[in-house]
Chains A and B, each alone.
Chain A
Amino acid sequence: MSNAEKMLDIKDLSVVYKTDLETVYAVNGVTLSLEKGATLGLVGETGAGKTTLALTLMRLLPERTGKVTSGSITFEGENIIDLPEAQMRKIRGDKIAMIFQDPMTSLNPVLTVGEQIAEALLVHNEVGRSKEEIEARVDETLTLVGIPPARKREYPHQFSGGMRQRVVIAIALSCEPDLLIADEPTTALDVTIQAQVLMMIRDLRDRLGTSMIMITHDLGIVAQTCDNVAVMYAGEIIELGTAEDIFAHTMHHPYTDGLFASLPNLKSKTARLQPITGLMPDPTNLPKGCKFAPRCSRCMEICKEVPPEVYTEGTHSIRCHLFHQSKEN
């Protein structure tokens, strides 16, 4: 990866949620980068810190509790962590846009769909588009996501779930963002509708050249849409690589192996699934060594005490003691 192509570069990012009672360590030292036009899949279970990472990129962490404790986020050459809110507002929605999981709650029920897209355009109207131009752009984006422009005068409740998610995507795409963050965009949808929406996202991404971060818990979606994959666990990226590294190679972090073994296989009939035992660690009180150690079937003494270093081989990196050894040998 040459530096010139990197549009997003996250270095050693840590985020905590602090309340009077406790501190939740949500993101712990994440280092990631994204090339222009590439799609990164961010996989992990509930509480892995995926959404927190996305909110940090958008600078939408809850003001009173959420704090970035270390690290930097360089987006198109600028560290957006220290950017004043006024400047951030210009980036948000215009350069970086986000699609949320629930299309029911992310639309305003009292505004028509057209008005909501137009609003996004008006907020970032640096070019000084006229009213007619904005209307034209609204029609254009609706067509892009496969909704007839005539429906722009309808309200969100008149759309079905899949159509609503298309509207949400239309709003996100209206300003032609450079980076699109999709947080579980199809989790609330049925399989056939999910397939339609994913196809559309894939198609739009290729056509517009938008870079994308796809947050999901579904390894299937990642396999079908992403170029690079980051597996998150307890706020850390425990495995990072190209889609081939993750899905085609056999060398994995034990957690990634566990995730694959938990999935019922569609092709062969397995008698029993091999789930990972136990639960995600309490984010207010993380294990001292490797965060996965208490659940790991291949846990060694060192894992309980020392946090593992990242082991890298080409594009593939794994944060696990197992692989550190094999390199030395």
Chain B
Amino acid sequence: MAEERIPLIETVDLKKYFKVGDNALLHAVDGINMKVYPGETIGVVGESGCGKSTLGRTILRLIEPTSGQILYNGDDITQYNARRMKKMRQELQIIFQDPYASLDPRKSVIEIIAEYMIINKTLPTKRDIFNRAAHLMDVVGLARRYATAYPHELDGGRRQRIGIARALSVNPKFIVCDEPVSALDVSIQAQILNLLMDLQDEMCLTYMFVTHDLSVVKHISDNIMVMYLGQCLELTSSDELFEKPLHPYTQALLSAIPEPDISMRNKKIKVIKGEVVSPVNPKPGCRFAARCEHCQERCHQEAPELKEVAPGHFVACHLCDGPI
């Protein structure tokens, strides 16, 4: 990674704990350090409950972090008051997973797209705002005849386009894409992925792409972060991760993808045993230890730190301590 560049978004030991009982804390995001450079895409993968969605929302301060810093162009936005934060929201946007739930059923398409611009008064008149909203519909490939339709009249792919147009309406620099294609059929999914990549090229957007789908994340990301129970287990470039996965969990994840190729049919899938344990009051040691086939005594005692084992390749595993 280049030395001089300033990351657009950087998190420093970001934590988000939820209180779930008298003495119980759910460690949803537990000390995440990551850097995202302008124009790049970072993919965040993990299974349900690993805290990847919470991480995305915490970076946007839709959920207030418990501790840690979020630097935007080097400036800590966790210290911003409500007024500055409202302004900041125009730079940091989100595209939601569920195109059904993220659109108000009682608002028409154009009203939904115009909403952010009305809130932030980005343009002087309502007419300008609606003009721009209509223009955004062209940008995301929504026919203008749907402007006065309601979300329920449209299919999933079109709804997702509305969500994308809404996010773009305030000219953001950074967009968290929270599983934007996982509710869509493959052919529609490919259309939306292409759209997102085109928009990135045209508008120089920076994405954080949260998903559980490894093939999608590989396709769209420059760097990938593998999360497990709120922590980052491995972080490296997308190609490197798929060629040389180092963490046992990453290896298992990759081997678990069913591939559309019958030559792989009799390949031995490295099935990891057990299921994700509860993120409530986690035990010391490596979070993955309980399911890991290489687990040693040490893994239960002491948590491995995220270390750079090769240039740009970070792994949190005791196995990778030595030279590889």
Interface residues of A (CB under 8 A from B): 45-46, 160-163, 190-196, 198-199, 217-225, 243-244, 247-248, 258-266, 269-270, 272-277, 279
Contacts and interface: CB of A to CB of B under 8 A. Distances in A.
B234 to A, nearest CB: 15
A276 B186 CA distance: 9
A266 B242 contact: yes
B203 interface: no
A192 B215 CA distance: 14
Given A192-B272, A265-B215, A275-B190, A260 B256 contact: no
Contact of A224 (B185, B212, B219, B264): B264
6 contacts: A45-B187, A162-B275, A220-B257, A222-B260, A223-B264, A260-B260
B219 to A, nearest CB: 3
Given A45-B185, A192-B256, A247-B260, A263 B47 contact: no
B290 interface: no
Interface stretch (B102-110, B191-199, B309-317): B191-199
B137 to A, nearest CB: 17
A248 B261 CA distance: 8
Contact of B259 (A45, A163, A224): A224
Given A190-B48, A266-B214, A270-B219, A220 B260 contact: yes
A269 B219 CA distance: 7
Contacts of A162: 275
Interface in B106-148: none
A228 to B, nearest CB: 12
Contacts of B188: 45, 275, 279
B257 to A, nearest CB: 6
A160 B275 contact: yes
B83 interface: no
Contact of B193 (A220, A225, A273): A273
Contacts of B185: 45-46, 217
Given A220-B258, A266-B259, A273-B193, 7 more contacts: A190-B47, A191-B47, A192-B271, A195-B256, A264-B193, A264-B220, A265-B219
Nearest to B266: A224
A272 B197 CA distance: 9
A199 B269 contact: yes
B258 A224 contact: yes
B232 interface: no
Nearest to A159: B275
A217, A218, A260, A275: residue with the most chain B Cβ atoms closer than 10 Å = A275
A214 B212 CA distance: 22
Nearest to B198: A272
Nearest to B275: A160
Interface string B183-226: 00111111101100100000000000000101110111000000
B187 A276 contact: yes
Nearest to A269: B239
B197 A263 contact: no
Interface residues of B, number: 42
Interface in B222-257: 239, 242, 252-253, 255-257
B155 interface: yes
Contacts of A277: 191
Given A224-B265, A266-B214, A266-B242, A191 B257 contact: yes
Contact of A243 (B220, B256, B262): B262
Contacts of B180: none
B279 interface: no
A72 B138 CA distance: 48
B157 interface: yes
A237 to B, nearest CB: 18
Q: Which 10 A-B pairs have the closest CB atoms?
A: A275-B190, A220-B258, A264-B219, A195-B256, A262-B190, A219-B260, A190-B47, A273-B190, A45-B185, A276-B187
A161 B48 CA distance: 10
Contacts of B253: 191-192
A87 B247 CA distance: 55
B239 to A, nearest CB: 7
A2 B265 CA distance: 26
Contacts of B275: 160, 162-163, 193
Contacts of B263: 248
B155 A279 contact: yes
A261 B193 CA distance: 13
Contact of A190 (B193, B212, B219, B239): B212
Nearest to B273: A196
Given A45-B187, A190-B212, A195-B269, A264 B258 contact: no
B257 A223 contact: no
Interface string B291-322: 00000000000000000000000000000000
B39 to A, nearest CB: 16
A162 B48 CA distance: 12
Given A192-B272, A272-B194, A263 B239 contact: no
A192 B275 CA distance: 8
